[in-house]
């Protein structure tokens, strides 16, 4: 049975509004209508379009050739590892890293704090983000769960590259420790990392975790999309 493309576009928009990502939506649609119904790159394209507040479900006129036949692989690697570099992707896929940069630019992705993120959050994304941080603030006021997280194995809270301690604190410090250092083997890398982590006092980790409520408050008060 032939599926109307416009119907699929409406379904894509529905899952976007539900807060699903392109990969999740692609899997759901293909599970219902078959694997030939939608490509991964098409799902990424439509989600990129929705993020710009363009919710017209009609196809735009095509112009020129696709950037690369490996667009699905590029986006999969970025989705799997938000810190991956274009040089690493180029090496794995055997294509020029400038082509990858161009593709990610077209997909409206760029690096912030060494993490691949969409150029801008949509209004819905921003409201969801503010609501989540407001909930976390209230929860922490009632029952200070952050203090418990420092010494327990509770799962980490919602991920955001600009305020997550690993990204804005630990990785920055680790990057600084690597300045002028040449590591010639896997063992050397492991030894450097172990030494770096062992040398950091508990206060190094505790202070950044306990700073999260103030960062949440700043985002809520200023309607910030990203906190740099």
pTM listed for this prediction: 0.34
Give the tens place of pLDDT for each residue, 168-188: 457 677 777 888 888 888 898
Give me the CATH code for the 123-222 domain, please: 3.30.420.10
Q: Which residue ranges make up each domain of the chain?
A: 5-52, 71-107, 123-222
Q: What are the DSSP calls for 66-125, one per residue?
A: -S-TTHHHHHHHHHH-TT--HHHHHHHHTS-HHHHHHHHHHTTEEEETTEEEESS--HHH
pLDDT category of residue 12 using cuts at 50, 70 and 90: very high
- In three-state secondary structure terms, 169 is helix
Give the tens place of pLDDT for each residue, 97-131: 888 888 888 777 888 777 777 766 666 666 777 78
Fold agreement (5-52, 123-222)? no
Distance CA 158, CA 220 (A): 15
Distance CA 145, CA 85 (A): 35
pLDDT category of residue 214 using cuts at 50, 70 and 90: confident
Lookup result for tokens 């196809």: 59
Question: Does the pLDDT value for residue 208 go beyond 60?
Answer: yes
- The answer regarding whether domain 5-52 maps to CATH 1.10.10 reads yes
Average pLDDT, the chain: 76
Q: Is the Cβ–Cβ distance between 22 and 43 less than 8 Å?
A: yes
Mean pLDDT of 11-31: 88
Query: Residue 149's closest CA among 205, 89, 199, 194?
Result: 205
């Amino acid at each position: 049975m032939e599926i109307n493309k416009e119907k699929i576009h409406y379904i894509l928009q529905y899952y976007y509004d539900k807060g699903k990502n392109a990969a999740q939506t692609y899997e759901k649609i293909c599970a219902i209508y078959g694997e030939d119904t939608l490509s991964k790159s098409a799902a990424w394209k439509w989600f990129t379009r929705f993020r710009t507040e363009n919710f017209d479900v009609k196809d735009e006129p095509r112009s020129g050739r696709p950037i690369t036949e490996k667009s699905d692989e590029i986006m999969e690697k970025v989705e799997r590892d938000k810190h991956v570099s274009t040089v690493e992707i180029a090496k794995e896929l055997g294509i020029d890293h400038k082509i990858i940069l161009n593709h990610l630019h077209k997909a409206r992705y760029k690096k912030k704090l060494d993490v691949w993120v969409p150029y801008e959050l949509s209004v819905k994304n921003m409201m969801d983000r503010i609501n989540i941080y407001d909930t976390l603030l209230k929860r922490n006021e009632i029952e200070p769960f952050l203090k418990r997280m420092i010494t327990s194995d509770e799962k980490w809270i919602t991920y955001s590259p600009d305020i997550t301690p690993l990204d804005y604190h630990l990785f920055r410090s680790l990057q600084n420790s690597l300045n002028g250092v040449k590591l010639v083997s896997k063992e050397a890398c492991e030894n450097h990392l172990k030494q770096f982590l062992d040398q950091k006092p508990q206060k190094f980790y505790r202070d950044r975790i306990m700073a999260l409520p103030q960062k949440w408050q700043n985002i809520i008060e200023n309607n910030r999309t990203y906190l740099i």
